Amino acid sequence: MSRSHISPIERHRRLDVDFRTPGGFGRLTSVNHSIVGLRFIYTGLFFFLVGGLLAMLIRAQLATAESAFLGHAAYNQIFTMHGTVMMFLFAIPVLEGLALYLLPKMLGGRDLAFPALSAFGYWCYFFGGMILLAALLLGLAPDSGWFMYTPLSGSTYTPGINSDVWLIGVTFVEVSALAAGVEITVTVLRIRTAGMSLDRMPLFAWYILVTAMMIVVGFPPLILGSILLELERAFDWPFFEVARGGDSLLWQHLFWLFGHPEVYIIFLPAAGIVSTLIPVFARHPMIGYGWIVASIVATGFISFGLWVHHMFTVGIPHLALVFFSAASMLVAIPTGIQFFAWIATLMAGRPYVRLPMLYLFGFLVVFVMGGLTGVMLALVPFNWQVHDTHFVVAHMHYVLVGGMVFPLLAGLTYWLPVASGRMPSERLGVVAFWLIFIGFNLTFFMMHLTGLKGMPRRVYTYDSGLGWETLNLLSSVGGFIMSIGVALVLLDLFLHFRIGQRAPRNPWGAGTLEWTLPKPPPSYNFGSLPRVESREPLHDTPDLPRALAAGEGLLAIPRPDGRETLAVEVVSGRPAHIVKLPAPNWMPFLGAVFTGVFFLSFLLKLYPLAAVGALLALGVFLRWAWSHGRRQDPEPLRAGEGIKLLPQAAVPAAPGWWGLLFTLVADGTVLAALLFGYLFLWTVAPNWPPPAFIELQPLIPLLGALALLVGLLAARGALAANRRAAAGMRGIWLLVLLLAGLLAAGALLAIPLGAPPPQTHAYFAVTAVLAGYGAFHCLLGVVMAGFVLLRCRAGFVSALRQLDLRVLQLWWDYTSGAGLLILAAIMLLPWVLAP
Amino acid sequence: MSALDPAGPAADALAGVWWVMLGGSFLILGAVVALALYAIYGRGARRSGITPRLLIVGGGLVFTPAVLAALLIWGIGAGHALLPLPGEREVYRIEVRAHQWWWEVTYPDAEDGPLHAANEIHIPAGRPVDITVRAEDVIHSFWVPRLGGKIDALPGHTNVIRLEAPAAGVYRGQCAEFCGAQHSRMALLIEAHETEALEERLALLSPTRESDSAEAPGAAAFQEHCAVCHSLDPRTRGATPAPNLADLPHRATLGAGTLPNAEGALLRWLRDHQDLKPGNRMPRHDHLDPETLEAIANHLEGPR
């Protein structure tokens, strides 16, 4: 079967019809990963220019002492937005875009696991970014720093809309990061080509996989923090206000619980670029693949244990400081291992230097320096001296520009031929590199000294005579040199797409699958999917491009309305089933528009309209879910090589189930962070215990617990009945589930409704949020149960096609567990901790 | 204001840590860059005997952890002098409350009971001083670089930092945590004195104002327009604390370091303070005629 019966041209025609995006307004319906990935990259680069422009304004203001260029109001918005734009609107989206664009091409897939989800994520990012940009142009941008410390960012000290813009705009953008996190995790784990076991994956995929998992558990604490702060600002529920039992330190913990992993979320993909390029330019396979994978995983874990090093000066017990000091240094070890593995590979090979290598050289110098100052900052006593000074500004830019921008430029230059089919210029590019490198070092090396000489961060003006003038002027000059370099990169890119030399199929001599594609790549990537036998398939079979186009791989014959790719077993890479990919459609765009209506109305305090937006978005998602599946049991399909595979509608653990699993991991992290906040306030906040505890009749929580247990059983009962093909019993269980869910939600909501209002004390506010979290999940579970009931009626569910019920069961496993935990926290904690 | 020009045991130790780390960093950076260049351009790199295992295990698993452990063990003690640990030496106490955008200073052990002042801290030279730091509104950070590290001022929490000035002199400090509009103009001065000089300086905080005639035009205007927030009596904080003005004529600066307290500066401050330090919490005085402002300034600067 591996020989196709159709010509390559016929194959191309049939696949392209299915995969290509329509023109005109139809572009808004695109779900193709190449298009969505490039949109992320373009939009991210646009915001890089915005952030860079803001940086130039900052450097213009600080070039001289007592400058009258910008006032404090403008400056505080500008430096806040510089950080916010660079972190949330440039660094993460660009790397996500690169990953979304490249992963299927490197893993041998025709698209991602959930192409519509990443398209939805893109529109969330786009609209959220536009909210922030509009606020900046209207002079209403956030102005309490990108870290938004309370109480400064609270309604007392920032009464305007500025902080709300940050909380809502950034949360909107984070929806897209979470979507990408789930998308990438499931894609790397399941959507690969035949034979690509975990240990044959390109290292880039390992880096991106760990990064995506870090996003899934790293972003929820900040999302929770933003929700709590917005509740405090909008409805006066005190979480951070000391007088009513809150604590501003809670915000710092939640923020840095996200904020430190965030640094590695940005660094790891960039390091993945380095690990991809080094073996290519060394002309030698990567040495220490296993060491590197272990280092990536170790970095992921360690990065969640260091957040306190942003808080060394808040008055933390000394022993804890020593612990976090040691943990912060520990992260240098896996990073060091990667560096030595890169050098070992270069030594073993016959390296040649082209523009991407030049950027890697910049990365090496700049990032090592950032790492060294990072070790210095991890040493608590020294941190006490330079924390919140320009020394930290210098360190952070060495780490982020060194660890992200230089590798990104290396990666963009390296992969440009894939997208454009042209070679990057070695002349203009080299000049641009040196301008950026010299300008960067001039700007930021000086800041180490400015900081040591006592200049705090985030000052809009400074007095002359303190010894800061010369250094600041040099920094500003350097900043403008760097800007010229960036402008040259843009010019180079422009010329590249116009007059760049045509690139051969595999210009750098790489061994990974993205270089087997025609240039620019077709909408479906691979005419047929390769069977992979090593980490560098293109080196094994230099003839691979022709063979794949000729249909010598898997899934070589497109079925009508096909859009198929392979799902593999997680570890072995053995083909497991066939994934049906979505056609271009309006769901992602409309879903994001209605989500945007929700966020924007909330921002403008139009709460009824916000509710309408949320309901419309839910409607779009349900409509989308309805369009999946089939009404008859499918036969196994021929995949080539004599293999027959079931389509996803008939497999128990289809990508959708995995997607929900990782969504629930993120969701569970929100709950964990909330419970952490509850305990933190109880043990650390000054005005505790609260004036009174919630007096509850045991009846209500017991009823709630019972309903949750019934829900747990009913979801499993429905699944079991379905396996026995007992449709009547299945319907009864689903009805029981509906009622139990409603009862559980009612019982959970009754708790805060019977208590003093949340405005009175953080205790009541936290209890209300906990109960609300549980009730929200129950109600969503009720909607899902009703939805599945209708799906059963409509014939989408059978003993073989049980995905709907499996998803429902997973949801209720989580909801029941979370609900019981919440009830226990509400009921038992006062009993345990109260005096 | 430079941490590289340290004074006192805490800052000395931290500057020492810095110079050692700087030297070590340059060595490591040089070694890594040299190794990388050798790997790329060195002709004998492949036959050099530097095996991958040696690099990854020796460099990554032996060298890095060894350097880090040594640094941690050696360096973590450098901050000891900043901790308010009990000891043999007698400790002088100061309380600081940080406000948007000024520092309220209290001498809890002064002879006449706690005395309040603003933006300047007078301490004995050669004696450890424990500074208790709180915040009254948003988060600030107390930092005098030449004397030592910083400590955050948080609402609802109390932190203590120990500083010691070795000799008489003035040490500038500044708020280090972003605290809103005028974060830039929130400086403070620590002045260390020999024992007698300190007593003389603190004597300027004594409440002599009571003898002033309430009939004087400046005094009446002060009562009418300023006393709602400001106190001239160093023994009282006032309900909505604004800087205590008891020793105003003797202070080095106005507006928490905004302008030197020279001839005519106070009148200028009263007139233009929202231009000199835009957004500060004192309302504009546009409704007061120049004569009234001058009378208030004269009253505040008046003879003691």
| Cβ distance of A346 and B40 shorter than 8 Å | yes
* Domain coverage including residue A722: 651-833
Distance CA A341, CA A646 (A): 42
Q: pLDDT at position A508, please?
A: 96
Residues of chain A with C-beta less than 8 angstroms from the C-beta of B60: 291, 333, 336-341
Letter for the amino acid at A246?
G
Is position A819 within any domain? yes
Q: pLDDT at position B4, please?
A: 94
CA distance A242 to chain B (A): 6
| Cβ distance of A454 and B2 shorter than 8 Å | yes
Residue window 457-476, chain A: list those with CB within 8 Å of chain B.
457-463, 466-467
Residue in chain B lying closest to A349 (CA):
B46
Can you tell me whether residue B98 is helix, strand or coil? strand
With beta carbons less than 8 A apart as the criterion, state whether A266 and A496 touch: no
Q: Is A458 left (phi over 0), alpha (psi -120 to 50) or beta?
A: left
Residues of chain A with C-beta less than 8 angstroms from the C-beta of B40: 346, 351, 353, 357
Residues of chain A with C-beta less than 8 angstroms from the C-beta of B138: 149, 151-152, 157
Is position A725 within any domain? yes
Instruction: Over range B81-105, report the average pLDDT.
Output: 93
The tally of domains found in chain A comes to: 1
Tell if the pTM clears 0.90, that is, is over it: yes
* B276 near A CB under 8 A: no
Distance CA A602, CA A233 (A): 12
Distance CA B10, CA B164 (A): 7
Q: pLDDT at position A388, please?
A: 96
> What ipTM goes with this model?
0.96
Residue B116 phi, psi dihedral angles, 5° rounding = -115, 140
**b/e B140-170 (16+ beta carbons within 10 angstroms → b):** bbbbbbbbbbbbbbbbbbebebbbbbeeeee
Nearest to A372 among B29, B158, B257 (CB): B29
pLDDT band at B304 (very low <50, low <70, confident <90, very high): very low
**Does B212 score more than 60 pLDDT?**
no
CA distance B153 to chain A (A): 8
The set of residues, in sequence order, having a beta carbon less than 8 Å from that of A10 and lying 6+ positions away, is none
Instruction: Over range B78-103, report the average pLDDT.
Output: 92
Residues of chain B with C-beta less than 8 angstroms from the C-beta of A384: 14, 79, 82, 148-151
Would you say how long chain A is, in residues? Answer: 835
Q: pLDDT at position A153, please?
A: 97
Residue window 315-334, chain A: list those with CB within 8 Å of chain B.
315, 318, 322, 325-326, 329-330, 332-333
Q: What is the rounded average pLDDT for all residues in chain B?
A: 91
| Cβ distance of A344 and B149 shorter than 8 Å | no
Q: pLDDT at position B135, please?
A: 97
Pick from B21, B46, B76 the residue to mutate for testing the A interface (most A CBs within 10 Å).
B76
| Cβ distance of B145 and A454 shorter than 8 Å | yes
**Does B303 score more than 70 pLDDT?**
no
Smallest Cα–Cα separation from A261: which of A302, A219, A299, A304?
Answer: A304
**Does B210 score more than 80 pLDDT?**
no
Smallest Cα–Cα separation from A515: which of A204, A291, A266?
Answer: A204
Residues of chain B with C-beta less than 8 angstroms from the C-beta of A388: 141, 143, 150, 176-178
Nearest to A336 among B40, B59, B178 (CB): B59
* A-to-B residue pairs, Cβ atoms closer than 8 angstroms: 248
Nearest to A343 among B11, B55, B77 (CB): B55
Residues of chain A with C-beta less than 8 angstroms from the C-beta of B48: 347
* A302 near B CB under 8 A: no
What is the CA B172 to chain-centroid distance, rounded?
7
Distance CA B194, CA B5 (A): 21
Pick from B1, B48, B82, B137 the residue to mutate for testing the A interface (most A CBs within 10 Å).
B1
In the numeric block, which tokens belong to residue A278?
A: 């080094």
Is position A128 within any domain? no
Distance CA A660, CA A372 (A): 40
Nearest to B56 among A337, A380, A467 (CB): A337
- Residue listed under structure tokens 């009971």: B113
Residue window 570-629, chain A: list those with CB within 8 Å of chain B.
none
Nearest to A340 among B60, B151, B177 (CB): B60
Is position A774 within any domain? yes
Q: pLDDT at position B214, please?
A: 62
3-state secondary structure A138-162: CCCCCCCCCCCCCCCCCCCCCCCCH
Nearest to A380 among B1, B76, B183 (CB): B76
Which portions of chain A are predicted below pLDDT 50? 1-4
Is position A735 within any domain? yes
Residue in chain A lying closest to B1 (CA):
A454
Is position A719 within any domain? yes
| Cβ distance of A341 and B56 shorter than 8 Å | yes
- What is the domain-level CATH number for residue A774? 1.20.120.80
CA distance B39 to chain A (A): 4
The set of residues, in sequence order, having a beta carbon less than 8 Å from that of A552 and lying 6+ positions away, is A2, A3, A4, A528
Distance CA A784, CA A654 (A): 18
The DSSP element (H or E) to which A226 belongs, if any, is: helix A203-235
Residue in chain B lying closest to A360 (CA):
B36
Residue in chain B lying closest to A390 (CA):
B176
**Does B211 score more than 70 pLDDT?**
no
| Cβ distance of A329 and B68 shorter than 8 Å | yes
Residue A575 phi, psi dihedral angles, 5° rounding = -55, 130
The per-residue pLDDT for range B11-21, each reduced to its tens digit, is 999 999 999 99
Please confirm whether the linkage preceding A220 is cis (ω < 30° from 0).
no
* B142 near A CB under 8 A: no
Q: pLDDT at position A1, please?
A: 40
Is position A751 within any domain? yes
Residue in chain A lying closest to B11 (CA):
A385
Letter for the amino acid at B12?
D
* A77 near B CB under 8 A: no
Residue window 21-60, chain A: list those with CB within 8 Å of chain B.
none
| Cβ distance of A341 and B55 shorter than 8 Å | yes
* B177 near A CB under 8 A: yes
* B141 near A CB under 8 A: yes
CA distance B41 to chain A (A): 8
Is position A197 within any domain? no
Residue window 186-245, chain B: list those with CB within 8 Å of chain A.
none
| Cβ distance of B176 and A384 shorter than 8 Å | no
Q: pLDDT at position B48, please?
A: 76
* B71 near A CB under 8 A: yes
Residues of chain B with C-beta less than 8 angstroms from the C-beta of A375: 21, 68, 71
Residue in chain B lying closest to A158 (CA):
B180
Pick from A385, A391, A683 the residue to mutate for testing the B interface (most B CBs within 10 Å).
A385
